Every structure is written in structure tokens, then in C-alpha cells.
Amino acid sequence: MTSSKTSDNLPAGTLTVTGLHPSGAGLSTFEGLTVLVPGAIPGDVVDARWTPPKPGGRFGLAQSFTVVSASPDADPTRCPLADACGGCPAGRLRYEAELAVKTRLLLEEPLRAAGFAVPVETPAGQPEGARTGFRNKAILRPVRIDGKLRFGMYRARSHEVVPAEDCPQTPAWMAEALRRTAEVLTEVPLYDEKTGEGILRAVLLRDGAVGGTTDEEPGKAARTRLLTPVLKSFDAVDLQTLDAMLRAALAGRDGREEKEDLRVTLIWRENAEPGNAVPGPGRSWSADAVDAIDARVMDDIFAVGPDTFLQVNAVQTPVLYRKAIDALELTGDEDLLDLYSGVGTITLALARRTKGRVLGIEVNPKSVENARRNAARAGLENRTRFEAGLVEDLLSNLLAEEASAGFRPVKAVIDPAFKGIEASVAKALGDAGLTRLVYVSCNPQTFVRDAKRLEAAGLKLIRVEAVDMFLGALHLEAVGTFVRNG
């Protein structure tokens, strides 16, 4: 079939989507050219118009499309926002089909290509009755639609904001909090990341009770809901007045009509850096002088602030952590390592399952501060140690220092960020004499790379499990088990 030209001189034609690109866009081929179709899914037949590849580029990019024939794996009931919002590129697929595609594309094919013959177990998918309202964190950007302030997500492969206050993955209170926030902040100029002008950059929300209550005592009202408006500058607004107005609105006492008290903790963040990172570097301010809310993960309660890393899927996080802990095959008396330990979620779970000590290393000083606070609250401060810094800078020296006190870790959990681990960390782990290591990964590409590094250091990959933490997104959390070679 030959393509035609549209009025804007772009090629156009009918495309059959046969797969998914790692970005989540649909993959199709037209007369030898691979065209990415953001928002389309395997099996769709679409009429599209696309921009040709730039010089040296490999892909055309669909600018718009209409579905001529929907994929047999399409499920139009999953998300009413899926056609516009870029947050869930696989959100139109039947969930079972999504899991199959992600397992093959993200784990099976990369591992096979790298020469690993280990089995990949069927992923632990989200239970059918828990596929809405499960996210404990959301970041939404401001946009004006017909003069009205709204909050939303970026459209696929763009920075155009699509209203998404009613994302079905978030708890209902977040949508109501965003509507009340929009009423209060409606006159604040919106930040433009291209020019650097404007004030209101985003709103971050967290819910610490999605996975269960955090009340430690009967009748005690824990802080479990957080709302953080992110501003370019505190000095550009009357912050205390805005804070008083927003607190009143969130509490349902703004004087106009009686509304439910959402019981939200308000912490403001200033971020003057260019770009779109949220919350980003900068100072925080709260009229209550608080810096965190409470969040329950498995057996413990954790202090969680705007910057804290915490798995966003409250339903699947215990599933993921139990797989990691079970893979260690603990005997109950080992010393253990927890690298990239965050606020200590895995560290404390390990400390509850061994009589030995657990050493955690985390780059974010605020997370380390909260981890120590969390360990003290759990009564585990004497069996845990947390240090702030890069793992590659601290690990070898800390192991040597702790060895003089009789600390001999034989097993470890590592849960690095998207970029994975440095080659020096793999070598240090190999030199540490570990008998077993469990690698929790959110990025299969770096996981495969690091598995090669670990095998070169004497730790052999024997099993890969997967947990779906990101419904609708082209991501899986992998749990790889390594044992000492020989």
C-alpha cells in the first residue's frame, strides 16, 4: 500500500500494529519503515499520519490516528483516560494480554539474548478486585482548560498535559483534593518548563494507608495523607495566606459549603531548577512543622515525605518483598546487607526475620534519617545500621569496619534505582563472600547487564520472578536470585 499526504504534508496510511516498543508505543511497519503509534496496542488497525524519521533516525512517529479495527485484546473498560493520557500506554489491553506482552518483551527476550537460560516464572499479577485505587503516590501537572485550572498527566510522547484528576488507579480522595486545590490556586501563574516563567509546577499526593491502617493505638489519628504543591518560588506568592486557604479547603471548612474533611497533611515544596523534575531539589515548608506522613508496609510503619522512595503499588509491594525475602532462604541467624535501602522497608522486614544484624546503605540523606527513625519506632535500632552515601563509595569500607565487630554478611538484597548498579558494586559483592544475593529490579535492561557483572564476580543467576507493580505501563519488577558459583 502506498501512503498519501495530509494537508500538513505528513505521510498517512493504514497501519497494523504488531507489537510494543519499550516506550509503550505501538509498533507497525509501512513500506519498510517502522512507525511508532503511541496509544495503539498489538492487533489494532489504524489510519495514521506520521512524521518521518529525522536524519539518522530509525522510526516514524504517528502524530494522530483513528482505530479502524480494534485489537481482539482491547479492553475499553479498563480506563476511560487511556486514549489520551500517556501514563498507561498498555492501558487499553486486556490485563492478561498485557502481562504476557510485558513478560516476553521485558524479561524473556532480553535474558535469552544475553545468553541466560534461567526460567522466568509467571508474573504475580494484580488481583482482579484490586485494580483500582491502589496507587499510594501521584504527581500531576497543572493546565488551564477553558480558563479553568485542572491537573493531569502528559499525553504520550509529549509534554501536553491531559486532565487526569480521576485516574482510576488513585484513591478517590486524591481527585477531590485536586479539585479543591485548583479552586484555591486558580490565580497562581502556571510554570512553563520551556521558558522557566510561572510559579505552579505540580502537585504531589501520597497515601500511607492504601495498604491498611497505620493507627498504632486505638483512636489515634495518624497522618496518612500528603499533598505537596510544588512552586518555583515561595517568595513569588503569599505562602502563608495560600496555605491557610488550602488547609481550610482540604478540611472542608472554606465557608462556602459543608464538605468532608480529607485529613490531608500539607507540605509545600520550592523548586527553582529548570526542567520538569518533581519534587526536585529545594526547601520544604509546613505550617505544622512536619516533614512526613505515616505509611504501613507489611509489619512496620514508615515516615514518608515528599522525596521518599516508596513502591507506588500498595497492594503488590508486600508480594514483591515476600518474594525477595523468601528467595534469600533465611535460616534466622544471618548477618545481612540491604543496599539502596531507602527508608528501610526491606531492612526492617529482614531484621524481623533474623537474629543477626542488617546493614543498609542509601544515597538520600533524608531517607536515611527516616530509616533510623523507622527502626527506632519498630524497636530494631540495635540490630540495624543505616549509612548515607553511594553504595560504590561506602560498601567495601563499611564491610571492613563492621568485620572488626564480628559482622559477617552472608546474604544480601539489592534494590537499586532505574540505572542499576555500578560495576565496582558487583565486584565488591563478589568479594564479600556472599552465598546468596537477591536483586530487585525495576529496569530489566540494567538487570540483564548487572547479572552479567555479578556472574563475572562469582554469583550465578538461577531464577527470575516477576511482580507487576505498574498496571498499564510497560514495566515489570524483577526478582533475580543469585548463588555463589561452585
Tell which residue, 35, 172, 407, has the closest CA to residue 387.
Answer: 407
Could you give the CA distance from residue 21 to residue 38 in angstroms, rounded to a whole number? 9
Pseudo-torsion of CA 83, 87, 92, 96, nearest 10°?
A: 180
CA angle 348, 170, 315 (to 5 degrees): 35
How large is the C-alpha radius of gyration of the chain?
24
Query: ω before 229 within 30° of 0 (cis)?
Result: no
- Are 101 and 90 contacting, i.e. CB atoms less than 8 angstroms apart? yes
Residue tagged active-site, from 85, 88, 167, 442:
442
Identify the helix (H) or strand (E) that includes residue 348.
helix 345-351
- Helices assigned H by DSSP within 169-238: 172-184
Could you give the CA distance from residue 222 to residue 110 in angstroms, rounded to a whole number? 44
Cell numbers 515528599 correspond to what residue?
A: 306
Pairing assessment for the beta strands 436-441 and 358-362 based on DSSP bridges: unpaired
CA angle 349, 440, 472 (to 5 degrees): 110
- Cβ of 127: how many Cβ atoms within 10 Å? 11
Identify the helix (H) or strand (E) that includes residue 246.
helix 239-250
Whether 442 is catalytic is yes
DSSP state of 108: I
Tell which residue, 127, 10, 36, 29, has the closest CA to residue 474.
Answer: 36
C-alpha cell at 79: 480506563
The residue type found at 115 is G
Tell which residue, 306, 284, 287, has the closest CA to residue 295.
Answer: 306
Which of helix, strand or coil describes residue 201?
strand
DSSP state of 135: B
What are the residues facing 11 on neighbouring strands?
A: 5
Could you give the CA distance from residue 260 to residue 266 in angstroms, rounded to a whole number? 16
Identify the helix (H) or strand (E) that includes residue 49.
strand 45-51
Q: Give the chain's largest Cα–Cα span.
A: 75
Cell numbers 502528559 correspond to what residue?
A: 154
CA 219 to chain centre: 32
Could you give the CA distance from residue 443 to residue 33 in angstroms, rounded to a whole number? 28
Provide the annotated active-site residues: 442
